[in-house]
Structure 1
């Protein structure tokens, strides 16, 4: 995708080569130690809308989080409209299964005529296994994925507060220990008759190169996202979304939103089925980086040369 992001000092292509590790978001390196954060929701909206040539002008170093979802970005794109260009669109077609593992999860690409996902997460406190699968196009993205919000775990906030000097001053040791233990009770993964997680395929696993691993973790102590606050993110506590969820499985749908945005840094649409459990921004970066090192697993094709999709 050619979506250069510009500000008063730099023009940076939206590509995995410019990816830089960032706290809870996807960022691009602006040079001089600066980064542009939180690009994933906008990138997902552009990619799902079939837009792969756009210029985005940004003031500051963080894309607005809005309400934590991609719904408004999709509405703005629809209002602005699209311009069809003369050059054919190129896509990255997966020819052979390719998988990377790490950070308590995995991410795999498999051959498929279109673009679809099968994503699960089983590490959210109290939620058990959440899983969503289906094709991703402009319509399905807008109705099923875009409205899902970024989420945060209230138990982690609670534990952070318990470690502060003020908590140690005001609360007796026994009280702090009891509250600390209670904060982990909601971490128990629920069982039941729900879906099972997606499963890795060890025979398709490829190693993550040491130089890629070295780029996967932030080296600076940057703050949390400035726009992230109640009302703009979904707060999770004890298997519930405070204030109500937009979907029963909203957290995994947002995982897919982020995944679609991160995969857009491949530079062109992907024709393949993406299977993942607990994907992260860093793991998706590693997946794209290592995939590019194995051209036997993919090929670049013109979308104009492909047969029309089969209607079921």
Structure 2
């Protein structure tokens, strides 16, 4: 993949969003070399580039700010599929304000991209190559970039009740993404949902206090870690850089917005007591989906990354902070062209 690529033809899909529950239609169309990935919402102003510039904090998803003040939510699964498939240029038109969740994974997006075909264009690809370790910490986790020849990840999570430590790592390319990462689904924790319901006014009205206390305690019963699992990825504090106050200010949602209104069995995997209701697609499916989200969020760097990304409990906001702060340390990265591997533009700001 030394040259940029786009789709061979337009493809479309229609479905409800995870958080709004509203149906939207998405059309992914070819675009010229140098165009990048851009999102257009009819009636909401000009196309928005898929970079960190229009990134806006949103609850439990990755979102871009539209010109009319609205958000385009939940772009991460589509972005992961485009990035892992080597699609550099595409025009994405969304008739709605949230990308459909489909089955909660990226497999359907990969199938649409495969159906459209990949067309190589007459322009060398540019890569963001990591030159030195760089880490940010926050929100109970960390992300670190390390020099490497290709793009690889090492992701762990240790904050899922009942699962202990889950970890997945390896190179990310079209084949490995489709086989190992794309099928993993978004997930919700049934115990946390149950506890949220117990806090509602309706529960306080219908259930005696003793009953609520007993049910609350029972929601923790199945959270014991089972067996011996892997170790979580290790932080390297010596490479950690602070998150600037202006970046931190952008990391937190400031508005009340719909949340999980479209979550249903078949669109999300429900976790309970260290297992997936209805069966898991992988024994470690939750951390693979964390990896899927991470791949999608990292694509907002605007160029493919050459480096190894190590993370524990990554979130959408933390990945945004990681990319934003990385750009402020040009000694840690350089832009290289596939046409001239030896040439670089060290310290040139990437399209973020």
Instruction: State whether TM-score is above 0.5.
Output: yes
Which residues in structure 2 correspond to 1:27-106 (within 5 Å)? 27-106=63-142
Question: What SS is found at the alignment partner of 1:55?
Answer: strand
Question: Quick one: distance in 2 between partners of 1:277 and 1:258?
Answer: 13
* Structure 2: segments with no counterpart, 5+ residues: 1-34, 343-352
Query: Structure 1, residues 242-284: CA drift from partner, whole Å, max 9, x if none?
Result: 0000000000000000000000000010000000000000000
Aligned length: 306
Question: Quick one: distance in 2 between partners of 1:244 and 1:120?
Answer: 21
2:197 match:
161
**Is 2:61 the counterpart of 1:7?**
no
Query: Structure 1, residues 197-241: CA drift from partner, whole Å, max 9, x if none?
Result: 000000000000011111111111111144322211000011010
Query: Structure 1, residues 105-161: CA drift from partner, whole Å, max 9, x if none?
Result: 000000000000000000001001000010000000000000000000111110111
1:212 match:
247
Question: Quick one: distance in 2 between partners of 1:28 and 1:224?
Answer: 16
2:270 match:
235
Question: What SS is found at the alignment partner of 1:116?
Answer: strand
RMSD: 1.3
Question: What SS is found at the alignment partner of 1:64?
Answer: coil
Question: Quick one: distance in 1 between partners of 2:272 and 2:326?
Answer: 36
Question: What SS is found at the alignment partner of 1:16?
Answer: coil
What TM-score, normalized by structure 2, do the two folds share?
A: 0.85
**Is 2:149 the counterpart of 1:113?**
yes
Question: What SS is found at the alignment partner of 1:4?
Answer: strand
More helix by share: 1
Task: Report if aligned partners of 1:66, 1:227 keep a CA contact under 8 Å in 2.
Answer: no
Which residues in structure 2 correspond to 1:191-270 (within 5 Å)? 192-270=227-305
More strand by share: 2
* Structure 1: segments with no counterpart, 5+ residues: 308-312
Question: Quick one: distance in 1 between partners of 2:193 and 2:65?
Answer: 29
What TM-score, normalized by structure 1, do the two folds share?
A: 0.95
